[in-house]
């Protein structure tokens, strides 16, 4: 029972990170019907930026006040970085292909994904102390353990809840509520929903669709940048390939929840987090990709509209 509860908790924290990344996939897909393969790698680059900034600010030796301020600055900076990068990629790569056959932006996204991964490899080769002095660019980088991982219930308790877990869950919830409020109550959010429903009709109603799409990439990128900092602080190790696998898991979460559906992405993220935690516990960590991708295939075959999605016919 305690094991199950513990897996549920691990699933919740991991799932929050997946959900944040999944939101970026789902928002872009909702509007463009494009699987943005590069999204996971954006997340990876933002985590490299966060690590670089931790080194530059000297946070490993800072006091509590400095640490909090520094982390806030890092969250803002990596969010801005990922948002700006995502927007730029859309502007340069996807936007010229808006009227091209669907295959074209998808293949471009795969290309961008590989470019970003390669940049991550080079970034890891920087001669900085936080990167291990640039000895091996491809090696995993250890992300300093800045938030306490001590059990809040006392050292002997059967269940383990740490300050880290609380940080992940609470800060992610705050961001998700803010996102929901943004999409639900602001003019731009309303424009996004309208564009997702029907781009042509939205254009006829006077919505600048290109601007809305740009804003969607900004918001999705910002969420990925935020998720990257949280991920680094929680998992404590990053490498240039984390974007590929976590991105695919997050995409699975988005599909599971019903792609294009914002609450669905959060629900999907939590389910994926829990399935991953229990498959690691009861089946074995080496089977993790097979379990999750097998699940993805089954969802797509039996319930392609996802848990919360409605059945959308392919546009002719």
Partner 1 sequence: MPDAPQSLRWLRSLRRRPELLIVVALFLYPLLPVLDWIAGGVFGLDLQIGGNLLNVMIFAILALALNLQVGYAGLLQLGIAAFFAIGAYTTGIFTVEKYPFQLGFWGALALAPVMAGLAGLVLGAPTIRLRGDYLAIVTLGFGEVVRVVILNMENITDGPRGLNPIPPPWLPDWLAGAIGGGDSRRVGFFVMYYLALLVLVALVVLFRNLERSALGRSFAALREDELVAACMGINPARIKMIAFSTGAAVAGLAGALYATKLSTTAEPNTYDFTYSIMVLCCVIIGGLGSLRGVLLGAFVLLSFDNIVSPLITKLIQRAVGFGSTNVLLQFSNWRWLIFGTALVLMMRFRPEGLWPSSRVKAELHHEES
Task: State the residue for tokens 């808006």.
Answer: 98
| Distance in Å, CB of 164 to partner 1, minimum | 29
Nearest CB to partner 1, comparing residues 215 and 299? 299
CA-wise closest residue to 192 among 212, 177, 206 = 212
Binding residues for partner 1 (CB under 8 A): 33-35, 93, 96-97, 99-108, 110-115, 117-119, 121-122, 124-125, 134-138, 244, 248, 251, 255, 286-287, 289-290, 293-294, 296-297, 300-301, 304, 314, 316
* Type and span of the H or E element at 238: strand 237-238
| Distance in Å, CB of 6 to partner 1, minimum | 25
Nearest CB to partner 1, comparing residues 126 and 194? 126
Q: Is 142 helix (H, G, I), strand (E, B) or coil?
A: strand
| Distance in Å, CB of 292 to partner 1, minimum | 8
CA dist list (Å): 24 to 176, 244, 286: 12, 14, 28
CA dist., res. 301 & res. 31, Å (int): 23
CA dist., res. 39 & res. 260, Å (int): 15
Cβ atoms of 69 and 251 within 8 Å: the answer is no
Q: Is 141 helix (H, G, I), strand (E, B) or coil?
A: strand
Nearest CB to partner 1, comparing residues 136 and 145? 136
Nearest CB to partner 1, comparing residues 35 and 218? 35
| Distance in Å, CB of 308 to partner 1, minimum | 17
| Distance in Å, CB of 137 to partner 1, minimum | 4
* Type and span of the H or E element at 168: helix 163-185
Nearest CB to partner 1, comparing residues 54 and 296? 296
């Amino acid at each position: 029972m305690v094991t199950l509860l513990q897996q549920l908790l691990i699933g919740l924290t991991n799932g929050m990170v997946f959900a944040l990344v999944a939101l970026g996939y789902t928002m872009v897909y909702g509007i463009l019907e494009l699987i943005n393969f590069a999204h996971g790698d954006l997340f990876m680059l933002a985590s490299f930026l966060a690590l670089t900034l931790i080194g530059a600010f000297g946070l490993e030796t800072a006091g509590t006040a400095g640490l909090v301020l520094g982390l806030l600055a890092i969250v803002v900076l990596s969010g801005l970085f990922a948002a700006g990068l995502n927007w730029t990629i859309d502007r340069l790569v996807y936007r010229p292909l808006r009227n091209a056959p669907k295959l074209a932006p998808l293949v471009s996204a795969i290309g961008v994904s590989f470019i970003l991964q390669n940049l991550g490899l080079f970034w890891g080769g920087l001669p900085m102390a936080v990167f291990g002095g640039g000895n091996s660019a491809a090696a995993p980088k250890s992300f300093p353990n800045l938030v306490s991982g001590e059990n809040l219930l006392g050292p002997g308790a059967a269940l383990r809840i740490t300050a880290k877990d609380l940080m992940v869950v609470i800060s992610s919830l705050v961001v998700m509520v803010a996102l929901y409020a943004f999409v639900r109550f602001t003019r731009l959010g309303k424009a996004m929903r309208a564009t997702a429903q029907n781009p042509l009709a939205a254009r006829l109603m006077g919505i600048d669709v290109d601007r809305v799409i740009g804003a969607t990439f900004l918001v999705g990128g910002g969420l990925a940048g935020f998720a990257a900092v949280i991920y680094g602080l929680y998992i404590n190790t990053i490498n240039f390939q984390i974007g590929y696998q976590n991105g695919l898991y997050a995409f699975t979460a988005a599909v599971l929840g019903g792609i294009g559906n914002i609450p669905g992405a959060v629900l999907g993220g939590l389910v994926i987090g829990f399935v991953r935690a229990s498959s690691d516990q009861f089946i074995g960590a080496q089977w993790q990709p097979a379990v999750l991708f097998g699940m993805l295939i089954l969802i797509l075959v039996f319930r392609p509209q996802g848990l919360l999605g409605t059945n959308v016919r392919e546009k002719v």
